[in-house]
Amino acid sequence: MAFVLPGSTRQFAFNRADHVGSFLRPPAVHESRKAFKEKTLNAEGLRKVEDAEISSLVEQERAVGIKSISDGEFRREYFHLDFIEHLEGIKITANNLLGQKEEAVVPTISVVGKLKHVKPIQLADYLFLQERIDPSKKEVAKVAIPSPTMVHFRGGRSSIDLTAYPNLDEFFDDLAAAYREEIRILADAGCKYLQFDDTNLAYLCDLKMREAAAGRGEDLNTLPRQYAQLINAALRDRPAGMTVGIHLCRGNFRSRHFAEGGYEPIAQVLFQELDVDVYFLEFDTERAGTFEPLRFLPKGEKVVMLGLVSSKVPQLESKEYIKNRIAEAAKFAPLEQLGLSPQCGFSSTVHGNEITIADQWAKMKLVVEIASEACGPLPHCFITSV
């Protein structure tokens, strides 16, 4: 099934089964990262271990039938900070996440100077992964990076230096430009599948989060649209051959979530104003609300990967239950525009969710099987054309 985006001749196909990007780190990665922090292993030694474990991961993804291959984010400590910290003008204030998960404090991001892209961030990691992709199996390398909204939401105006940015419009312009440069570099290297990981649009569905944002002076009537404009500006120059997805997350730290609430407050902007091809949306529990917001999905233009299989708990969902849920979703959006994935990554931070690696692969095998049985096969995965 091919879909054409409004105002363009872009077409893309999608696989019925996908994943969000991160996988549980194997023991060798944890041990090597610990040795690196203790200065008993250098950066070259750490990367050598990561290389070996990522190569093994690719084989595991292939074995369960995944076509969009990621590196599991094995080289990252946090899904967002390890990318954002490389932008000039950013300061990260670390916090200790090694205690009780209920006491965890997320590291903070501050803008202390003019934002600028100064070097390739994801390029080397992408090239390593791409070398292990088998195009004859219709595989594609999936690159997940944090959404640009991650630089703004938690701190808002107070986290952005007034001297550098007396006008927030300039801040958003520079942020989008920095992202455009990284996307250009990836596109020039051959990247065909890019995903933005975004907690903030989902947080704007949560009453307490909305109240906190309003307390920081944000206009909740305009902020979702402002974020859509920021993301669109970041993607403005992407080539026609690049498929872009976005994952909305309500928090994923050691199986803990941080927000609740259905997509209704942002649905119209999300589906009709955001220039992406694929949405990865959480629907695994009641905290994500109903499927009704899917009614805003433009028919024949975009697709939604239903996050119905939990990456947070070890219990394996029943096929019948998930198939019934897919049927419910199909009441609001065409079945041909729906696929299946876990609701989030298995390890958004290096700590990982409270499940085992065996649980993880059982979940992914289930996703692939149900997607084929409930939604039907499609000819290939995320291959773009014009």
pLDDT cut 70: percent of the chain above it:
87
Residues 6+ apart with CB under 8 A from 369: 319
pLDDT of residue 6 exceeding 80, the answer is: no
pLDDT of residue 54 exceeding 60, the answer is: yes
Q: How far is CA 92 from CA 72, 86, 156, 230, in A?
A: 23, 10, 15, 21
Per-residue confidence band for 12, with pLDDT thresholds at 50, 70 and 90: low
pLDDT of residue 9 exceeding 70, the answer is: no
Average the pLDDT over each of 269-273, 285-289, 378-382 and give the range with the smallest value.
378-382
Average the pLDDT over each of 149-163, 242-256, 287-301, 321-335 and give the range with the smallest value.
242-256
pLDDT of residue 49 exceeding 60, the answer is: yes
Q: Give the other-Cβ count within 10 Å of 216's Cβ.
A: 13
More confident residue, 236 or 3: 236
More confident residue, 299 or 253: 299
pLDDT of residue 73 exceeding 60, the answer is: yes
Question: Which DSSP letter does residue 103 get?
Answer: G
Per-residue confidence band for 105, with pLDDT thresholds at 50, 70 and 90: low
Return the pLDDT at 260: 65
Q: Which domains does the chain have, with CATH numbers?
A: 3-385 (3.20.20.210)
Cα gap 124→70, rounded to integer Å: 14
Instruction: Choose the most confident range, by mean pLDDT, from 33-42, 89-98, 152-161, 284-293.
Output: 33-42
Contact 260, 204 (CB under 8 A): no
Backbone dihedral region for residue 382 (phi beyond 0: left; psi -120 to 50: alpha; all else: beta): left
Cα gap 43→175, rounded to integer Å: 29
What mean pLDDT do residues 302-324 have? 93
Its pTM stands at: 0.90
More confident residue, 378 or 127: 127
